[in-house]
Amino acid sequence: MADAVLKRLPLPPSVTTGNWGGLAFFLFVIGFVAWLFSAAINWMTDANRLPLSQLVIQGKLDYLSTNDVRQGILQLDQLGSFMTQDVDQIQLALEALPWVAHASVRKQWPDSIKVFLVEHQPAAIWNQQFLVNTEGAVFEAPAEQVKDLGLVELAGPDGNSQEALTALHEMQPRLQLAGFEIATLAVNERRAWRVWLTNGIRLELGREARMERLERFIGLYPELEQQGKAIEYVDLRYDTGAAVGWKVVQE
C-alpha cells in the first residue's frame, strides 16, 4: 500500500536544469543592458545625430568679428557632439584670441553653443607692437588696429606695463592742464623715466621725484619759450634748475 502511494507522487524538478535556465536568463539580461548602454553611447556621441550646428555670440564686440570667433573655435582639433564636447576647451580656444579678455561658454539643447565675450579695452600702445589694456596688462593685438585712437605709446622692459600705465595716469592730466600732450612715455631697466611730448620736446625725469621735476618743467617752459629757439630736450635730473638742449637749425 505504501509502495503504491509513493509511485503516484510527482518527481521533484531537476536541480541542474533549473540552475542553467536561471543563469541563461541572467546572462540575457546582462547582454541586453550592455547592448542598450552601448547603443545609447553611440547615439549620444554620433556627431551626425547631435551635431553642434548653431553658434550664438553675445557681448559688445568692437574689434572682433563673428568670423574671428568662429575660426577660433574651428581651430580645435575636433569638435564633438552636443553631449561630448567639453565647453572648457572652447573657452580656452577663444581666450587665446588676441582681443578676448574673457570668454564664457555654455551649451543649449539641442545643437547650440552660446558664447559671451568681453574684449580688452586698449589704453596705450606697448613697445610699438602690442597694446596695454585698462588694467595695465599687455595683450598681443596689433597696434595698427587702434591707430585712429591716438593712444600714447608706452615703452619699457617686459613686466613693466602696469607701472608705466600708472605713471601715464599721473603725468598726463597735469601736462594736459598746462597745454601739453604726451606722445611717448618710457622707463628703462634702471627705472629712469623719459617723456616725449607731441611738440617734439624730450623730458629727462630720471628715477626719482618725477612729478616734482615735471612741475619744474611746466614752471620753466614760459621762460624757455621766450628764447625763440626750438627745444630738443630738457634734462630735469637735478636738485634745482634744468639743462636744455636746443635743436640745431640746418642751413
What CATH number was assigned to the domain covering residues 122-246?
3.40.50.11690
Cα–Cα distance, 60 to 116 (Å, whole number): 9
- Which strands form 193-197's sheet, in the order they lie side by side? 138-139, 130-133, 122-126, 153-155, 182-187, 193-197, 202-206, 231-235, 243-246
Is residue 47 classed as helix, strand or coil in its secondary structure? coil
Residue 127 and residue 157 in contact, taking contact as beta carbons nearer than 8 Å: no
Residues of the chain with CATH 3.40.50.11690: 122-246
What CATH number was assigned to the domain covering residues 54-119?
3.10.20.310
The identity of residue 2, as a single letter, is A
Q: Among residues 221, 141, 132, 238, which one has the least CA distance to residue 185? A: 132
Residues 6 or more apart from 141 whose CB is under 8 A from it? 63, 98, 99, 120, 122, 130, 131
Cα–Cα distance, 80 to 50 (Å, whole number): 9
Q: How much is the pLDDT for 50?
A: 58
Cα–Cα distance, 186 to 195 (Å, whole number): 6
Q: What is the DSSP letter of 23?
A: H
Burial of 79 (0-12, 13-18, 19+ CB in 10 A): middle
Q: How much is the pLDDT for 111?
A: 77
Q: How much is the pLDDT for 24?
A: 65
How many CB atoms are closer than 10 A to CB 70? Answer: 13
Q: How much is the pLDDT for 98?
A: 93
- Written as tens digits, the pLDDT of the chain (251 aa) is 444 444 554 555 555 555 666 666 666 667 666 655 554 555 555 545 556 678 889 999 999 999 999 999 888 877 666 677 788 999 999 999 999 999 999 988 877 889 999 999 999 999 999 999 999 999 999 888 898 899 999 999 999 999 999 999 999 999 999 999 999 999 999 999 999 999 999 999 999 999 999 999 999 999 999 998 999 999 999 988 899 999 887 65
Residues of the chain with CATH 3.10.20.310: 54-119
Write out the three cell numbers for 107. Answer: 551649451
The identity of residue 151, as a single letter, is L
β-bridge pairing 112-119 and 231-235: unpaired
Q: How much is the pLDDT for 126?
A: 96
In degrees, rounded to 5, the angle at the alpha carbon of residue 129 between the alpha carbons of residues 124 and 134 is 25
Cα–Cα distance, 170 to 140 (Å, whole number): 25
- By residue count, the chain amounts to 251
